[in-house]
Chain A
Amino acid sequence: MKFKRHSVIPGFGFTLGFTLTYLSLIVLIPLSLLFLKATTLGWEHFWHTVVSARVLASLRLSFGTALASALVNAVFGLLVAWVLVRYDFPGKKIVDALVDLPFALPTAVAGIALTTLYAPHGWMGRLLAGLGIKAAFTPLGITLALIFIGLPFVVRTVEPILQDFEKEIEEAAFSLGANRWQTFCKVILPAILPALLTGCAMAFSRAVGEYGSVVFIAGNMPLKTEIAPLLIMTKLEQYDYAGATAIAGVMLVISFLLLFATHLFQAWTRQYERV
């Protein structure tokens, strides 16, 4: 089979070779070592580790809260991007800079700040307690922390697409009698959906692996608010390296499958581009 096609852009062989070597060094080798380590457990032991109630609960919690936070970010991240692109208001530059802060802030700092706020006696915690809602030390608190760290992904991926969206296409929809809501749902949203999915997938992946900001607000009660990355840390501290890699391996496989599915869905939403 011949991969190489004639192209005016030179260097196909070199760049492909470089890319494969680079990816191997940075991603594939460390990850395969992880699986190699996990195999030292033996199948029975591996299975036993993975299906234990505590591990299953932590996996469910990690993926569940990550998904919830990604969905919340999809809605509100889109809203933030929309406002930043469509409107001019005083202080827009500052708001724009604020969006990136979750990227820059050490996650532990964010975790401590959020815990202080949402703890039963914190500012927000007190308000929520009045409504009968407990945020800190519950899955809700974990989701809050994950929303915080995932926000920039959605905003920054959707923003350029919104910026490039032709005004004329919206005008065409209006001139055909569509109202604002119809124009948004039927014309604008399908156009930004691929970017929105990318942003969501990134926010989700980041949330699955997030550790620093979550451990403070989670409370870390086994079976209830103990996230999978923390469980891995716990195992490492007990010198159970193989057990830790077993959980990590399962997380990796699940993440990979979810991201792959997202990409397939994304390709489907862009089928009109393939000619």
Chain B
Amino acid sequence: MSIQVFDVTKKFDDFTALQNISLEVAEGERVALLGPSGSGKTTLLRVISGLEPADSGRVVIRGNEMTDEKVSDRKVGFVFQHYALFRHMSVFENVAFGLRVRSKSERPGNADIKKRVLELLKLVRLDSMASRYPSQLSGGQRQRVALARALAIEPNMLLLDEPFGALDAKVRRELRQWLRELHDKLGMTSIFVTHDQEEALELADRVVVMNRGRIEQIGTPDEIYHHPANEFVCEFLGNVNFFHCRLEGEKVYLGNTGVRISDKFGLDSKHNKVYIRPHRLEISRVPAEDSFGATIRLIHSAGPLVRVEIEVHSGERASVELSQERFCELDLKKGEAVYVVAKEIRAYPGDYSI
């Protein structure tokens, strides 16, 4: 195991940022800490790095007890959301910093430092920018300098705090792809914090979903997306339609006016809410078994998928996603009455609250 966190708790005055968190990360694994703001994900990252001491619990890195070690002794490559570059140093000196501050016996010679830094700058594709100052770089370039700087110390692992948070969408996507390639090349254990579920699902081997200082679920992106452990994870990951429901006899009814849906989903009396992903709802022109009536309210057809907003007869709104082909085939128009079938329903015990 590369990183082990045992039962870590951290409080800021009255606010509990982390509550009995335990986590194991394997060598070479890419883990995303995903959650809304205030969920404790950044605090967990800082506790692992040593930037923040835990109130209780232990941190073990590569089998070495690190709980009381300072950040400078943990050899972690930390990448900050706002880059935290040294403004008065050139790109070259920023990357060289970690090597230059080593004690005399460990410090490489000037020629070696130069070689290392230029290698790293080539790796992050900034070798032509070595003599520039951070203020002369774009956001994406600055973040790459920050990454090269973190890699210069040959860290045990990379910790990235919302690494793409301050960048615009296009740069973000490019940098994400580039980071994944880089990671595959280096094979370094890395943990990154994000509040963007798409980013987490795309980049991580495993996703840790956090909420209110606790871990809600740990799993591969597939597990998290297709088998969310609870309501919170289900709602946090991607668009989802939410319905109140009630059980009468053997039948489950959606909403207030009693739209009957199939009982094959194994719902029982303790469920009073259901979740249906937009692409798991199907629209048809003719009624089928377990279909319910709905009216089309809005159509967004720009994009790979067509999103149709429907109003169920009970008054509840929902969105449906379908392919462009299917959309053309059905020839849907705003205001039309259609039939909808749910292909998959998730339900959680009703007493759960978010």
Contact = CB atoms under 8 A, between A and B. Distances in A.
A238 interface: no
A177 B86 contact: no
B133 interface: yes
B60 interface: no
B82 A175 contact: no
B202 to A, nearest CB: 26
Contacts of B71: 171, 174-175
A169 B150 CA distance: 13
A177 B87 contact: no
B80 A171 contact: yes
Interface in B54-111: 70-72, 75-78, 80, 82, 84-89, 97-98, 100-102
A175 B49 CA distance: 8
A173 B72 CA distance: 8
A191 interface: yes
A104 interface: no
A202 B49 CA distance: 42
A257 B50 CA distance: 49
A182 B149 CA distance: 16
A168 B80 contact: yes
A178 B80 contact: no
B177 interface: no
B78 A171 contact: yes
Contact of A177 (B51, B89, B98): B98
A79 interface: no
Which bucket holds chain A's interface residue count?
20 to 34
B33 to A, nearest CB: 18
A172 interface: yes
Interface string A168-195: 1101111111110010001100110000
A178 B72 contact: yes
B161 to A, nearest CB: 9
B153 interface: yes
B346 to A, nearest CB: 40
Contacts of A166: 82, 84
A273 B101 contact: no
Contacts of B135: 272-273, 275
A190 B102 contact: no
B82 A168 contact: yes
Contacts of A275: 133, 135-136
Contact of A176 (B50, B51, B136, B149): B149
A190 to B, nearest CB: 4
Interface in B109-144: 133-136
Contacts of B82: 166, 168
A171 B84 contact: yes
Contacts of A179: 72, 101
Nearest to A189: B88
Contacts of A173: 86, 97, 101
Nearest to A270: B88
A272 B146 CA distance: 17
A77 B84 CA distance: 27
Given A172-B80, A173-B97, A275-B133, A191 B88 contact: yes
A177 B80 contact: no
A173 to B, nearest CB: 7
Contacts of B136: 275
A176 B159 CA distance: 12
A172 B78 contact: yes
Given A272-B135, A275-B133, A176 B84 contact: no
Interface in A129-173: 166, 168-169, 171-173
Interface in B186-203: none
Contact of B72 (A177, A190, A191, A269): A177
A175 B102 CA distance: 12
Contact of B51 (A169, A175, A182, A187): A175
A186 B97 contact: yes
Interface string A190-219: 110000000000000000000000000000
A190 B77 CA distance: 24
A176 B88 contact: no
A273 B134 CA distance: 9
Interface in A221-275: 269, 272-273, 275
Interface in B149-191: 149-150, 152-153
Contacts of A186: 86, 97, 100-101
8 contacts: A172-B86, A174-B71, A175-B49, A175-B72, A177-B75, A178-B97, A272-B88, A272-B135
Interface of B: 49-51, 70-72, 75-78, 80, 82, 84-89, 97-98, 100-102, 133-136, 146, 149-150, 152-153
The 5 closest A-B pairs by CB, nearest first: A176-B98, A168-B84, A172-B84, A178-B101, A175-B78
Given A272-B89, A272-B134, 12 more contacts: A168-B82, A169-B85, A171-B71, A171-B80, A172-B85, A172-B146, A174-B51, A174-B71, A175-B72, A176-B152, A190-B88, A275-B135
